[in-house]
Amino acid sequence: MENSSNGKIARNTTFLTGAFIFQKVLSFFYFAYISRQLGSENIGKYVWALSFAGIFALFIEFGLGPVLTREVSRNYEKAREYLSSILGIKILFSVITVTALLIASHAMGRDAITMQIIYIAVAIIVLDSFTFSFYSIFRAYQKLHFEAIGLTIYQLLIVGSGVAGIVFGLSVKGVVLAVLIGSIFNFAYSLSLVVFKAKLKPRIRFNKKIVKLLLKIAIPFAIAGLFFKVNNEIDKVLLGVIAGDKYVGWYSIASKFNMSLTFIPGAFATSFFPAMSRYFMTSKSELAHTFEKAMIYLMAVSLPIAAGSFVLADRIILKLYGPAFEASIVAFQVIISGLVFVFINYPIGNFLNACNRQKLNTINMGIATAVNIVLNIVLIPKYTYIGASIAAVTSAVVLVSLGLPWISKIAPYSKKLLISKFAKLLFSSTAMGSLLYLFRDGISVLLLIPIGMVIYLILVFAVRAVNLGDVTALFRSVFKKQNAKNTSNNN
């Protein structure tokens, strides 16, 4: 029976992971298309408005999604009761949050087009928050394939509607209306699943005892979510306020590539987190060994991507986004240079969470967020979007620097091994990047990418940075079926 259950979870998780990868890839190329069509000014307005509204959305959600999943998974009989209370909470929070959002946006004196986008974004964040609650029920039931189907159709609707909006001359308003169309579908679909598949008919209720319990449990999730969201969105918001929308557009192009790659360390997190949690209770040596493997694998993946992208930055930006975004090249190079820190923060953060240090992890995120905000305020007035790029990389470095010293206190790992591997991988990546630089003018970028991969593999085997066993283990870590994990939806 247990094997059957595990197989079901694995199949459903494979569906959801595949849906998220599909969404990331499709979203990346769709963003490139709308950027070329809208130009830096309009894409800046679009990104700024959604980023600004996205920060406020956290006050509607308030970490209640994972709480609902966790509590319902422990007691299915209370699913309707918990969902009804959370819907009541969210309606109240929606009224307060939307009021605050509109007051803040008007106070900033944004232009008419941006305000129109914000009005549409208000509907999007409210619908998405309730949708997340409905999907949280099915995460508790371990029926993730429903969410995978919804997410796939949602993204296809956005892309199809967005392209149609541009074709029919609706410009940036058409693009943001496309997101609203996707959100309306996702809301209606997830609600119908709750009613007809889960056989729940939620009612809006304010059971004082349950509401108090849920909010108390949700506070740590809400704080962690706030730090994460602010750290990822505040640069764009501040850039728009201090410098202007075209700089947001240039910066968004530069940062989109990094964000699109996060599914890679996310796959590793799924792989290594259960093992780390188990070894924390049974074997500190195995815990340290698992951490070392995670760090080595993610360095092995992120360093060559960073090196190759840095060298081919102009070719990548101009090929995907066109000459209008040539200004994004330098920012892209700055941001991609910090990719390794973004990647290795995943095993560090997961290690701390697995070892009951989630509060420490949240504090570290809070400090990194504060550093990011301060640096943006200091650097943007003088360096605009380049300053925001520097702040983003510095924040990632700070987060790793705060978390890494705690690892050895919990489970001593081989620092010598990691330094040695890092040096070999850095050498291989740098050498590959140098060769790509020599070839870049005479070969298509589409051919340079596989050529770079072959060169890198030859070099890492030559310097013994990895061996065949490492490659096999890495492949299995990414692609083998894993237990279900909570994943947040991204526009």
Tokens 């609902």 correspond to 68
H helices within 283-336, ranges in order? 284-311, 313-321, 328-336
Q: Which amino acid is at 60?
A: I
Per-residue pLDDT reduced to its tens digit, 222-252: 998 899 899 999 999 999 999 999 999 999 9
> Higher pLDDT residue, 265 or 137?
137
Cβ within 8 Å of residue 491, ≥6 positions away:
50, 54, 124, 128, 179
Amino acid residing at 423: A
Express each pLDDT in 313-364 by its tens digit: 999 999 999 999 999 999 999 999 999 999 999 999 989 988 988 889 889 9
pLDDT on residue 465: 85
**CB distance 328 to 291 below 8 Å:** no
Contact 198, 141 (CB under 8 A): yes
| pLDDT of amino acid 220 | 85
Instruction: Give the pLDDT confidence score for residue 479 in this predicted structure.
Output: 47
Q: Token digits for 212? A: 């108090």
Task: Provide CB contacts within 8 A for 248, sequence distance 6+.
Answer: 43, 44, 45, 47, 48, 236, 239, 240, 385
213 compared with 488, residue with greater pLDDT? 213
Cα–Cα distances in Å, from 426 out to 234, 262, 483, 485?
Answer: 31, 20, 33, 32
Amino acid at site 398: V
| 193: DSSP letter | I
pLDDT of residue 270: 63
The Cβ of residue 441 has, within 10 Å, a number of other Cβ atoms equal to 7
How far is CA 375 from its chain centroid?
Answer: 22
Mean pLDDT of 96-111: 95
Q: How far apart are CA 126 and CA 59, in angstroms?
A: 10
pTM for the model stands at 0.87
Closest CA to 183 of 155, 147, 146: 155
Q: Report d(CA 173, CA 473) in Å as an integer.
A: 47
Report residue 105: phi and psi, to 5°: -70, -40
pLDDT above 70: residue 147? yes
Q: State which amino acid sits at residue 184.
A: I
Contacts of 242 (CB under 8 A, 6+ apart): 377, 380, 381
* Euclidean distance between CA atoms 395 and 401, whole angstroms: 10
Instruction: Give the rounded distance of the alpha carbon of 394 from its chain centre.
Output: 18
CA distance 123 to 178: 12
Nearest to 92 by CA among 119, 114, 60: 60
User: For the chain, how many residues are written?
Assistant: 491
Give CA–CA dist 436/447, Å, rounded: 11
Of the ranges 3-7, 156-160, 395-399, which one carries the lowest mean pLDDT score?
Answer: 3-7
Cα distances (angstroms) measured from residue 187 to each of 86, 154, 268, 297:
16, 10, 30, 38
State pLDDT tens for residues 389-422: 999 999 999 999 999 999 999 999 999 999 999 9
Averaged pLDDT of the chain: 90
> Which two structure tokens, joined as six digits, stand for 394?
């510095």
The Cα–Cα gap between 457 and 393 comes to 27
**Tokens, residue 236:** 């764009």
Residue 366, token pair as written in the block: 């809070």
